[in-house]
Amino acid sequence: MFNYLKLDPEQCEFIPVAGISDLPAGERLFLEIDGQPIVIFNLAGDYYAIADLCSHDNGPVGEGELEGFEIICPRHGARFDIRDGRVLALPAVEDIPAYPVRLNDGMIEIGLPLND
């Protein structure tokens, strides 16, 4: 699956999705962009965004328990790295999308590939 983090930021369109104050440290924010469910994490002031859709069976992976940078899918226990969407444990075998996140003018912005 394509990892948006590999995109040149110059080729991304950054979309404001929430105010920085809407996502305190240790919290998660669930949203949908163009029909794609996304979850954003604030880990002690560092922000990460992945698709909220497990590559094993479309489970709501964003609701899973977090161990460091590893999220554990609540459905069957697959693990992913929230920094880049990389799959770390079965039963999933495919990565999930990860998105660049930046803070700009008090807002959290998610980078999506520019449509050409």
Residues at the site binding ligand FES, with contacts judged by CB under 6 A: 54, 56-57, 59, 61, 73, 75-78, 91-92
* Contact (CB, 8 A) for 3 and 97: yes
Rank residues 49 and 96 by Cβ distance to ligand FES and give the closer one.
Answer: 96
Residue 60 CB, nearest approach to ligand FES (Å): 8
Residue 42 CB, nearest approach to ligand FES (Å): 23
Rank residues 67 and 116 by Cβ distance to ligand FES and give the closer one.
Answer: 67
Instruction: Give the span between the Cα atoms of 97 and 110, in whole angstroms.
Output: 12
State the CB neighbour count (10 A cutoff) for residue 104: 10
Residue 59 CB, nearest approach to ligand FES (Å): 3
Rank residues 51 and 112 by Cβ distance to ligand FES and give the closer one.
Answer: 51
Rank residues 28 and 75 by Cβ distance to ligand FES and give the closer one.
Answer: 75
Instruction: Give the span between the Cα atoms of 72 and 6, in whole angstroms.
Output: 23
**CA distances for 65 relative to 4, 28, 48, 71, 79, angstroms:** 23, 12, 15, 6, 10
Instruction: Give the span between the Cα atoms of 64 and 41, in whole angstroms.
Output: 12
Residue 97 CB, nearest approach to ligand FES (Å): 15
